[in-house]
Amino acid sequence: GQQLNQSPQSMFIQEGEDVSMNCTSSSIFNTWLWYKQDPGEGPVLLIALYKAGELTSNGRLTAQFGITRKDSFLNISASIPSDVGIYFCAGTLTGNQFYFGTGTSLTVIP
Amino acid sequence: SQTIHQWPATLVQPVGSPLSLECTVEGTSNPNLYWYRQAAGRGLQLLFYSVGIGQISSEVPQNLSASRPQDRQFILSSKKLLLSDSGFYLCAWSVLGTAYGYTFGSGTRLTVV
């Protein structure tokens, strides 16, 4: 199945720094989602985006639906230790099947 | 509200032994159900998905099989485990045709020794 490319693959940052990651697809989507997976747990939905150009926030997290509909971006401001985990993007054109990104592993150094 | 249950949380099995992982969903009917595998610190690999009782689609050839004996029950099985079957197994559900995404279970850590 189709897989989305996430960048960077891993990040090591100091507590308090801002984080940016992105996700790209070879085809267009109508919905983009961002998930976070805590160590040893299942991924949990953070943000959903339904319209090209849309910018949506959830606390310190902000995600954007790219205007080309082939990419999405996630920013985390003022990182804290509990932000540690793997972040996955996911996209769908019809809602019948979601394709997941390769993941960005985030480590926050206190 | 909808909930998804997955068990066991951890499992250590010898090579050649059988496997049965179970996943159940509550609070919804006719969900789409999925089994994913995740290697350590890596991405999600879709193994099987099901749109209804007895309907199973396999994404990759492998040593595993899936069954859906009831509407909200999804089982992942193997007759003889291989070392390469080790990993983190995740069950998920969704509603067909909606853009709300998947809800994942808490996962099963399988170690084949």
Q: What is the pLDDT of residues A67-103, one digit of tens each?
A: 999 999 999 999 999 999 999 999 999 877 899 999 9
CB–CB contact A41 B94 (8 Å):
no
pLDDT for B59 equals 83
**Nearest residue of B to residue A51 by CA position?**
B99
Best mutation target among B3, B32, B37, B44 (most A Cβ atoms within 10 Å) is B44
The mean per-residue pLDDT over the stretch B25-38 comes to 94
Q: Is the pLDDT of residue A63 over 70?
A: yes
Record: contact A94-B103, CB cut-off 8 A:
no
Nearest CB to B96: which of A44, A96, A100?
Answer: A96
Least CB–CB distance from B99: residue in A3, A42, A92: A92
Residue A1 is predicted with a pLDDT of 60
How do the residues of chain B divide into helix, strand and coil, expressed in percent and rounded to 5?
5, 55, 40
Amino acid at A24: T
Q: Calculate ∠ Cα B32-A29-A78, nearest 5°.
A: 95
The average pLDDT across B80-90 equals 95
CB contact under 8 A, A98 and B101: yes
For chain A, the average pLDDT equals 94
Classify residue A100 by its DSSP letter.
Answer: E
Taking an 8 Å cut-off on Cβ atoms, the answer to whether B99 and A95 are in contact is: yes
pLDDT band at residue B100 using 50, 70 and 90 as cut-offs: confident
Quick one: which of B102, B106, B46 has its CA closest to A35? B102
- Judged by CB atoms closer than 8 Å, whether chains meet at A50 and B99 is answered as yes
State yes or no: pLDDT of B1 exceeds 90: no
Give the contacts of B95 (CB within 8 A, at least 6 positions apart): B28, B31, B32
Q: Are strands A55-58 and A44-49 parallel, antiparallel or unpaired?
A: unpaired
What's the whole-number mean pLDDT along residues A14-34? 96
**Residue A41: which of B106, B89, B23 has the closest Cα?**
B106
% of chain B surpassing 90 pLDDT: 81
Tell whether the model's pLDDT for residue B96 goes beyond 80.
no
Q: What is the pLDDT of residue B39?
A: 84
